Structure 1
């Protein structure tokens, strides 16, 4: 058999302090170790379909086709050894460390294996506490939903002779290891457990140019995409060292989805012609093989890093809403008895994003159901707070007795529960700023959200909007326009444009504001927001007839609305900016 490269789960086990034990009683130590070999390790490995590659003095190197079975085997070994030590005095107890990793290995003709997969497992074994099991992030992802074991997150560790830091987990041995309940009619032996949130793998792009130098460019871009997607807390993104094992291989996307435990796979190619390069990408549903999105990007290689950044931003900007749309459809198809807080939250989103009063009511009903199921679910709390901001700051009827107080309460709970979820943080801060309730906490949250995930068009826009209305006009407008660049096809682009127009108006640039406002009006002429923005712009430019015509449009869109109402609810922190709008409304004929 010629040497071959493959993906395998690697277990490395070693006795703690074997030399010390041997120095106390060599014959007894060797005899007890051989007993553990024959009575514990060999039967357990066999039971879990593993292969003992070799014995290494007082340790073992074992290969498995399934990381779930490798971890079950490790837990079983540690439990058995612990039982055997119950009647042995402390000085003579034989205790093992075990490391488990899923990675790329090379199998030689004699059956031995080597490579990074083996090296990482060995380093994890060395990190493990006596009697414990250390798992790499790649191994843990496959077992966390399959085994009921107590796990401690040890954070990132710099393993010896391994280039990149790796997240490490430790299993607390002693609790029983039970398989997760799965449907026997649908479970597949090679299928990894999928996390609850949407999961995606970015495969290495295919170099079709015949130019080996382009490998560095393409691999760098794929790594950038993985890094950028990893900032979206609502996405589970497979690490580079798991996806790059498919480099140079023809793959079945559905099989990749099963092996990596992901719902979505992004793949692509690069083709170079002279000084120009074309990148194509496509997002595929790994369960059905259906194409959800495809596009191409052309550019010059004059500045490789700028081109990488441009393509990464474009791809990430479209992937987030595409995956969100697919997840919403998935939630809609779920049977009523299986709907949870996450599904209700997803179902609410398309109603909330329409920014229409009746749809807003439907969204808030769904979000309140989600919050009832999980009172600390940050995304539902944050979006519910945003839903009430939509109502309060527009000419819409109120939902409850005190929508401002309810929105603020939800926003504070969202910020307390949100952690590092950029959307939760940005919407919590947005509500506090737009309702003029807590500028200190709100503005800090807006800034923090853009630091957590600068690649999200939604986060960028919402943060920019809050900052602009919070009187950081220049910084806010810059972020709003970046949000527009990241989300050029967003269905709410008319809102982005109208808000950008406000920013330019408040900055003393009414001509630039007018161009943006007219683009917004062309996309949606039935919203009161763009009407009052245009009235203020026309008034500033001295186009009073146009302002009066737009006031009539406003009153047809929002019958009975008054200038006094807007004076109470508009979110401008700067009193001069608010007065500019309110005075313009009154001059244009909006009743007081």
Structure 2
């Protein structure tokens, strides 16, 4: 008798394509392609809501969730996305799905398949739904209608096949939308987003992320969760934006004006547009048109436009060469900071260049420096915005448990002051991720569970925040869901194409999936962005070392790792791979020394923990991971608990 069969109470989602047979008769290949696309939508939305797809037999989809709220939200997001896509294929190939959801007892086998009346009832409810619609049982309606912001209509008890008692059924009430024929549940309003260079095709993608990431049903345990609906005394995220607000002036270009050149204005406009895309509040140049770029009245600009900084610059012409330099002036102190200088062969080359991106990257680094100095001034320790600034600096060091503990306490303090702060919540989530990766957790699997809860809270607060999406992608990858992780990373980079952390974390994941050429593209992009945190610099080094080792270029990896330890001697991670490479190549004394240094800095690491921090579904990388593990065993790393 099997002893590993479990009885569980789960939310079951059953879906079936309407008119599938007719579509197959018209165009079998086209219908199969549409079905594959729809299944991918189901997989993505189910995963984002913490569920798992159990079966996709025929034209059906069966998924299970720990919460009814998660199942309903996944169903609503899926129908919404499928409806948005329905205008793309020919009308005869559009697949609409009926969905039914029930909460009930199921039998779960070791392979993950589920059986029982709970599954049967969900399937029968699915048959009651309209194409593109959703029908749920009474239990689901009671558990989810309020938290999922869904309106249900009671359609009365339903006698369904092979179920003795009638099942109370509720139909999702459709919400009329101009371009949709599918019923869509109303959701809580999200802040308006501006995606300047995103195509219209991605509008529905971002909308689906917004719906999918509102995870109200997750059980939150941190102490500031109960304050989430209270009006905070400080709006941290708004204060951060206000502190970084600036006015952009036209660049000084006296010789250009006499020749009719508009380069000074064009460069200022390009920089302003780039900064707005990164979330900086920029005062349009029209508000400072009367200012002389060569002698601006900074105090007047600050007073009239409520900004603390002014960004300006100059264009210098030397024959056929054009030099452009941008600088930042802090109004209160009069301090001037050089941001970026570049040389071009012509006005046209300057306008077509990535100069605006380079200035935005330099500005981010400069703000990091200025805010760090201010946050350390006496009396600033009780300011929640300054607490976040200092927390990110603690996290940037992140080489000791003390660093991470200070970061965690500061992020939690800020979250207590403003429970709705995206900056505070994502910082807390990233702190847990760094603790996991740095082998600072006595129970790494529990650390991942805590991280997931914190990041779900962050996603609820900022579903279209690039940092949130990137961190969530990281968690999905750690959960062995690489396809979904890369999909979310791509959405993160759609929102913020120049986010260095997203490029680097995605590059490391691509290496671990054996996709070295793709990883190199992201490493190259990240290298072109000015780093302002040592953490990002170390990620880039780590990615290069792992890529070399995974391709069996051990000596190249060894040299990269040695340089890493020379620059950052108190980070224990490079010593780990150094010890393994030494052991694999018979250098016993060096292996022992490097392992001793690693264990001194990261005493909680072990073989099982290392495997957990190097997830992959790629056979090639898994073989190289086993080679790493073999070297670590030879170097004396303990096994640990699986």
Same fold (TM over 0.5): yes
| 1:525 counterpart = 2:569 | yes
- Name the structure 2 match of 1:582: 629
Q: Deviations over 1:466-518 (max 9, x none)?
A: 44446554333432342233125643323321223223433555565445434
Partners in 2 of 1:550 and 1:525 — Cα distance? 12
* Pair 1:350–1:560, CA change in 2 (3 A): closer
- Name the structure 2 match of 1:255: 300
Q: Is the 8 A contact 2:500 2:526 kept in 1?
A: yes
Aligned pair partner of 2:329 in 272, 277, 284: 284
- More relative contact order in 1 or in 2 (CA 8 Å, sep 6+)? 2
Q: Deviations over 1:511-555 (max 9, x none)?
A: 654454343222112212112233455677887775555334323
| 1:275 counterpart = 2:320 | yes
Q: Is the 8 A contact 1:232 1:421 kept in 2?
A: no
Q: Within 5 Å, which residues of 2 pair with 1:399-414? A: 402-414=446-458
SS in 2 for 1:206: coil
Q: Within 5 Å, which residues of 2 pair with 1:121-160? A: none
Partners in 2 of 1:464 and 1:212 — Cα distance? 48
TM-score, normalised on structure 2?
0.55
Partners in 1 of 2:288 and 2:502 — Cα distance? 27
Across the aligned residues of Structure 1 and Structure 2, the Cα RMSD in angstroms comes to 3.7
SS in 2 for 1:449: helix
Aligned pair partner of 1:420 in 457, 464, 468: 464
Shift of 1:419: 3.5
Shift of 1:313: 3.2
- Name the structure 2 match of 1:183: none
| 1:227 counterpart = 2:273 | yes
Partners in 2 of 1:156 and 1:496 — Cα distance? 28
Larger radius of gyration: 1
* Pair 1:418–1:586, CA change in 2 (3 A): same
SS in 2 for 1:486: coil
Q: Deviations over 1:28-80 (max 9, x none)?
A: xxxxxxxxxxxxxxxxxxxxxxxxxxxxxxxxxxxxxxxxxxxxxxxxxxxxx
Shift of 1:363: 0.6
Q: Within 5 Å, which residues of 2 pair with 1:113-512? A: 196=242, 198-207=244-253, 209=255, 212=258, 215-233=261-279, 235-244=280-289, 246=291, 248=293, 250-291=295-336, 293-295=337-339, 297-301=341-345, 304-305=348-349, 309-333=353-377, 339-340=383-384, 342-356=385-399, 357-398=401-442, 402-433=446-477, 435-436=478-479, 438-439=481-482, 441-469=484-512, 472-488=515-531, 490-492=533-535, 493-507=537-551, 509-510=553-554
Shift of 1:268: 1.1
SS in 1 for 2:316: strand
Q: Which runs of 5+ in 1 are unaligned?
A: 1-151, 158-192
Q: Deviations over 1:84-108 (max 9, x none)?
A: xxxxxxxxxxxxxxxxxxxxxxxxx
Q: Is the 8 A contact 1:422 1:449 kept in 2?
A: yes
Partners in 1 of 2:545 and 2:289 — Cα distance? 44
Shift of 1:454: 1.6
Q: Which runs of 5+ in 2 are unaligned?
A: 1-190, 197-238
Q: Is the 8 A contact 1:201 1:237 kept in 2?
A: yes
Shift of 1:359: 0.9
Q: Within 5 Å, which residues of 2 pair with 1:53-132? A: none
Shift of 1:265: 1.5
Q: Deviations over 1:437-483 (max 9, x none)?
A: 65455333321121211223344334434444465543334323422
Shift of 1:351: 0.9
Q: Is the 8 A contact 1:481 1:500 kept in 2?
A: no
TM-score, normalised on structure 1?
0.59
